[in-house]
Amino acid sequence: MNGLTRNALLHQHVETLIKHVKQQPASFKRYHAFIYKAESWSKPRKVVATVEMTDIGKLNVRFISTDMLEAKAKAHYEEICCARGNDELYIKIQKTYTKTDRFSRHRFLTNQFRLFLH
């Protein structure tokens, strides 16, 4: 799963969705999935687009590419992509507030014990 930079071709896939979302109130969000192939990719991939009107009334469009063809667009974005981001945030919080860097042992219990000693 990778985030994609917006370009004209991606924008064309969600153009009608953007027009619809612009007419909606704040916190309105829609998802759209489509197949896309960039020039540098060896094969087409599924792209999930999120188009939302933020709380302050600003349009926010995001694209992610994935190999998971069977997942629905909304479920893929909210349950997989956002969950991954939350996990990374928890790791960042743990490293920041416990002043730890990385755990270089392969076994969970060893790393947990090192954190306990810290």
Reported pTM: 0.62
| C-alpha to C-alpha distances, 6 to 25, 110, 115, nearest whole angstrom | 23, 43, 41
User: How do the domains of the chain map onto residue ranges?
Assistant: 2-101
Mean pLDDT, rounded, of the chain: 79
* 106's tokens: 């392969």
Count of residues making up the chain? 118
Dihedral class, residue 98 (left if φ above 0, else alpha if ψ from -120 to 50, else beta): alpha
pLDDT in tens, 21-54: 888 888 888 888 899 988 888 988 888 888 888 8
pLDDT at 106 over 70: yes
